[in-house]
Chains A and B, each alone.
Chain A
């Protein structure tokens, strides 16, 4: 696969690993946060931690849009979708996320019309082909996905398709990073920046992290070589005592972002004054809501939403794991009460949530890995 296989070349990966070991000053302990859940997943999937020296530590950040959704919002979405004549459409990522009374798949088993879609456009198509039903699309995602939702709403309006609405749970990445840096428990040396969010917002929005907080940021792609090269670039900056934003993912990320995408978002969305993030609390100006000009297609403006706040069980330490203060295995519930099959918190449900990723890919790995026979 072009633009994929080259960035998985074993010899180059080995080389990048060596470079990291060469650059990492032995007496120093580097704490680097990868913000994006997709990076967390890639790190585990490709076994990249096996290539890093012990003093380069990757901390998982809060960039998992499923993980940061409070259970109350999931309950709201399910309450909306469970109404007679409704079709509840969402990405596969949402299907096993538990609400108070079950997950979308469990609701489906009890008779709710639940459909998995790959694209918001597919949800709109469901509305066209099911004129007698109302299709409610449960939208999630950071700025990577929001423009696609925006374009879909614009299309719905242009076509006058009234049996379609969006329950909008899009969140923005910068406030989440700010919350991390504001947290007193955090000590971080630098960031692996979210590559696909940056195709939309560009690299400028991270400049304050370098200029005001003195932490380098390298916007990274998702293949093993991308992530390793980004770590190389971060270590180089740290050795020189520099702090700037660099774009490792140049082949895809424009420094200025995608104007058409930003225009579409501005047309359809505005910032909510505040939004609750699971584990992080209320953060102002951190989430998107649909403008009044699109009220007709906003599930919240059109239908009544229960809006009940559901607090997480005290024992669940999702917040601390989200902020990178605790490792998944340090949460008291990890692996016992909370597993991918019976998740207590969303970090265990979403495949890119740090707890699920660690549980599925890592936590039973033997300490010394027998090397691959073919190396």
Chain B
């Protein structure tokens, strides 16, 4: 159900129904028919499950997510500083004074 791994398309077959995909140096022919509504091209990254490409992987969304993760806790930390001044009711951590249930 769940084991799916990102792979890079190395080359597509002429009919574009199959592609040679590379996963960290391991290569396998992968079926692209599930992506026929928005076919991938060489160098695209796809998610592979049981030899079929399930979805294209969006580099932009991945980068977005990394950005969010990098900033985790920073927004909270900033809020904690500000709320120490008593300027607003807001969520605090375990050390904090009040929290919303």
Interface residues in chain A, defined as those with a beta carbon under 8 Å from any beta carbon in chain B: 1-4, 6, 12, 15-16, 18-19, 21-23, 25-26, 28, 36-39, 41, 63-65, 91, 118-122, 141-142, 144-145, 147-148, 151, 194-197, 199-200, 222, 225, 229, 232, 239-241, 248, 250-254, 258-261, 264, 352
Contacts and interface: CB of A to CB of B under 8 A. Distances in A.
A41 B65 CA distance: 23
Contacts of A141: 1, 50
Given A194-B2, A199-B55, A251-B61, A1 B73 contact: no
A2 B2 contact: no
Interface in B29-80: 31, 33-37, 45, 47, 49-52, 54-55, 57-59, 61-62, 64-66, 68-70, 72-73, 76
A145 B50 contact: yes
A28 B1 CA distance: 33
A80 B60 CA distance: 48
B52 A147 contact: yes
B24 interface: yes
Contacts of B47: 196, 199, 252
A368 to B, nearest CB: 21
A250 B23 contact: no
A251 B31 contact: no
B20 interface: no
Contacts, number: 154
A259 B69 contact: no
Contact of B1 (A38, A118, A120, A264): A38
B68 to A, nearest CB: 8
Contacts of A19: 72-73, 76
Contact of A196 (B2, B45, B62, B68): B2
A118 B50 contact: yes
Given A15-B73, A194-B1, A195-B2, A144 B49 contact: yes
A151 B61 contact: no
Given A22-B93, A251-B57, A15 B72 contact: yes
B65 A229 contact: yes
Nearest to B59: A251
B3 interface: yes
A258 B1 contact: no
Contact of A252 (B24, B57, B64, B70): B57
B57 to A, nearest CB: 6
B85 interface: no
B34 to A, nearest CB: 5
A178 B42 CA distance: 41
Given A18-B73, A118-B50, A250-B61, 13 more contacts: A3-B57, A3-B62, A37-B1, A122-B51, A144-B2, A148-B50, A197-B2, A229-B68, A229-B69, A251-B57, A253-B55, A260-B34, A352-B1
B91 interface: yes
A119 B57 contact: no
B4 to A, nearest CB: 5
